[in-house]
Amino acid sequence: MNSENFLTEESKSRIYFKRDRCRLCNSLSVELVMPFVATPVGDHYVAAGQLDISQEAYSLDLYFCNSCGQLQLLDVVDPAFIYGEYLYETSTSMGLVEHFQRYADDLIETIHPHQGSFAVDIGCNDGSFLKYLRQKNLSVLGIEPAKEIAKKVESAGIDVLNTFFSHELACKIKEERGAATVISANNVMANVEDLGGFAKGIRELLSPDGIFTFESGSLVDLIRNCVIDNIYHEHLCYFRLNPLVKYFQNHGLEVVDIQHSPTKGGSLRGTIQHKGTSRNISPAVLDRMSWETSLGFDQAETYKEFASRMEGIRKQLLSLLNDLKKNGKTISGYGASVGVTTLLYYYGVGQMLDVLYDDNPIKQGLHSPGYHIPVNPSPDIYKNKPDYILIFAWRYAVPIMKKHAQYLANGGHFIVPLPGIEVI
C-alpha cells in the first residue's frame, strides 16, 4: 500500500459521496434497515511503515428500497481508491478455482458456442475463469481495474484491459473486436455503482444470440446464514432475484435462468439474454421469485429483524471476550480478508486481539485496516501460544481446526463467532 490509501480531510470529499436514491430503480423511497459502525476500506491492509497514518472510516449502513425491494449501501467510496492496489486474488479462496472450472464446463454445455467465439470477463481478477474459457477454444478478453492483478493476467498470456467496464468501453470493444457471444461478470455486479450504465454496456456488447452470465452473493443466504462478513464497501448491492428481474427488463434484457451456488457463503448465478430472443425462460426463475417473496424478503421488517438478531450475537461475543480478558486470557484472530475488517469493527473487538493469523502470504507481515493488528503466518500459533483464537474466517472453521488440531491438543481453544457462537 502507498500513501494514496490514506486521506486528509481535503481529499476525503473527492473519493466519497452518499446517494439519495435506489441504485437499481432510482426511487427516493429508501429506508435505513441496518445501521453499521463506520469502517475503513476492508482490504486496505498496511505495511509497518504506515502505522502512524490514520485510515478514514466510512458508513456501511444498509438501506432497503421500498419500490423495487433492493438492499444496498448508499455510501459510496470511489472504486479507484478501493481497487487501485487491490490485494484479493481468486486463486487464494479455497475451492473457487475448481468452482470456475465447473462453471466454464456448464456454460459451454449450455450455449454450445462456436470455436473462436468472443468471450469477455468483466472484473476478471487473476484470470481463473478466462483460463478455462480459453481451454474451450474461445477468444477471450479480461477487464480488470486492479493494476498489479491485471499485469499477472497479461503475463499469463491473456488479453486484458486495465480499466473499469462502462458503456463507452463496450462500444470501443465492439468496434475493435465485434460483439461478444459470452459476457461474464462474477462477483462484480454487487460492486458497480452505475448499474444503469453497466446494463447499457452489456446490451451494447452482447451479440443478438449471446449470453451474459453473472454470479453474485445471494441476499437470502446472507440473511439466513448470517454471512455478515460479506457486507463491506466493495459490495454496494446485496442481490436477490426479484429486483434483478425488474432491473434487466428496464434495460432491454431478461433473466432466462437462475441457479444457486454455495460459493462465497451462497451465490446466485444468472443467465441473461436480449429480451425476446430464442431461449425460453426457465421455470426456476418464477419459482425463485415466488420463494423469495414467501420468505418476506420484499419487506423492510425482514432486514430489521436480521439486524436485531446480529446485535444479540454481537453482545454475546463481547461478553464472552470481556470475561476471558478479565481472567487474563490471551486472544488472537484467524483470518485477514476484506470481510474480517467488517467483523472486527461490527463486533468492536480490535483492541482485544494481539495478532491475526492467516495462510495467505500476500497478507502476512501487513497490519489490519484501522486497528493495525499484525498479520502473521499460522505456524506462529505454536510459538505465541494464545489461549483462544477467534476464527473470523468462520465459513472455513472446520478445515482450519483440522489443520491446527495440535493447537487444540496443546490446550488451546477456538471461538467460532457465526452463525452462532461456539467455543471449542
Domain span at residue 144 reads 90-296
pLDDT for 1: 37
pLDDT band at 80 (very low <50, low <70, confident <90, very high): confident
Position 32 in a domain: no
Split at pLDDT 50, 70, 90, the class of 93 is confident
Asked if residue 10 has pLDDT above 60, the reply is: no
- Residue where a domain terminates, one of 238, 261, 296: 296
pLDDT at site 336 = 97
Predicted pLDDT at 11: 43
Quick one: 225 and 312 in the same domain? no
pLDDT at 7: 42
Output the average pLDDT for the chain.
93
What mean pLDDT comes out for the span 62-67? 98
Contacts of 309 (CB under 8 A, 6+ apart): 226
218 & 234 share domain = yes
pLDDT bracket for residue 396 (50, 70, 90): very high
Cα distance between residue 99 and residue 1, in whole Å: 30
Q: Please check whether residues 109 and 180 belong to one and the same domain.
A: yes
Would 2 be classed as within a structural domain?
no
Same domain, 292 and 401: no
% residues pLDDT > 90 (the chain): 84
pLDDT tens digits, 180-215: 999 999 999 999 999 999 999 999 999 999 999 999
Helix (H, G, I), strand (E, B) or coil at 354: coil
Q: Please tell me whether residues 208 and 287 are part of one structural domain.
A: yes
Q: Is residue 76 part of a domain?
A: no
Instruction: Report how far residue 144's alpha carbon sits from residue 159's, in angstroms, rounded to the nearest whole number.
Output: 11
Helix axes 167-177, 195-205, angle to 10 degrees: 10
Of 311, 352, 312, 355, nearest in space to 335 by CA: 355
Give pLDDT, residue 88: 67
From 95-109, 148-162, 231-245, the region with the lowest mean pLDDT: 95-109
CA distance 345 to 320: 17
CATH assignment of the domain containing 308? 3.40.50.720
Higher pLDDT, 126 or 394: 394
Question: Which triple of cell numbers denotes residue 98?
Answer: 475448481
User: pLDDT, tens digit, for every residue of 292-319?
Assistant: 999 999 999 999 999 999 999 999 999 9
pLDDT of residue 82: 86
Among 277, 296, 315, residue at a domain's last position: 296
Q: Is the peptide bond before 374 cis (omega within 30 degrees of 0)?
A: no
Question: Mean pLDDT, to the nearest integer, of 274-298?
Answer: 95
Q: Are strands 62-65 and 30-34 parallel, antiparallel or unpaired?
A: antiparallel
Distances (CA, A) of 223 to 68, 71, 227, 228: 18, 11, 7, 8
**Helix 128-135 vs helix 96-111: crossing angle, to nearest 10:** 40
For residue 26, being part of any structural domain is answered with no
User: Do 185 and 325 fall into the same domain?
Assistant: no
Average confidence (pLDDT) over 385-397: 97
Residue 350 is classified by DSSP as: G
Asked if 242 and 291 sit in the same domain, the reply is: yes
- Count of domains observed in the chain: 2
Cβ(88)–Cβ(358) below 8 Å: no
129 with 217, same domain: the answer is yes
Please tell me whether residues 96 and 178 are part of one structural domain.
yes
pLDDT cut 70: percent of the chain above it: 95
Residue 353 Rama label (left phi>0; alpha psi -120 to 50; beta) = beta
Give SS3 for 221.
Answer: helix
Query: How do 267-274 and 253-261 pair as beta strands?
Result: antiparallel
Residue 60 located in a structural domain: no
Asked whether residue 105 falls in the same domain as residue 248, the answer is yes
- Residue 169: predicted pLDDT: 97
CATH number of the domain residue 262 falls in: 3.40.50.150
Has residue 325 got a pLDDT over 80?
yes
Same domain, 372 and 403: yes
Residue 290 lies in a domain: yes
Q: Any idea which of 47-56, 268-277, 348-357, 364-373 has the lowest mean pLDDT?
A: 47-56
pLDDT value, residue 257: 97
**pLDDT bracket for residue 34 (50, 70, 90):** very high
Q: CB count, 10 Å around CB of 351?
A: 9
Residue type, 223: I
DSSP at 263: G
Domain boundary (296, 320, 335) is at 296
For the cut 70, the answer to whether the pLDDT of residue 9 exceeds it is: no
The model's pLDDT over 42-56, given as tens digits with 9 standing for 90+, comes to: 999 999 999 988 899
8 A C-beta contact, residue 22 and residue 65: yes
User: What is the grid cell recorded at 353?
Assistant: 486481539
What is the C-alpha to C-alpha distance for residues 167 and 175, in angstroms, rounded to an integer? 12
25: number of Cβ within 10 Å: 18
Same domain, 356 and 272: no
pLDDT for res 92 = 65
What pLDDT score was predicted for residue 100?
87
- Could you report the per-residue pLDDT of 112-169, keeping only the tens digit for each? 899 999 999 999 998 999 999 999 999 999 999 988 899 999 999 999 999 999 999 9
286 pLDDT exceeds 90?
yes
Higher pLDDT, 36 or 4: 36
- Residue (of 308, 274, 155) closest to 206 by Cα position: 274
C-alpha 314: how far from its chain's center?
22
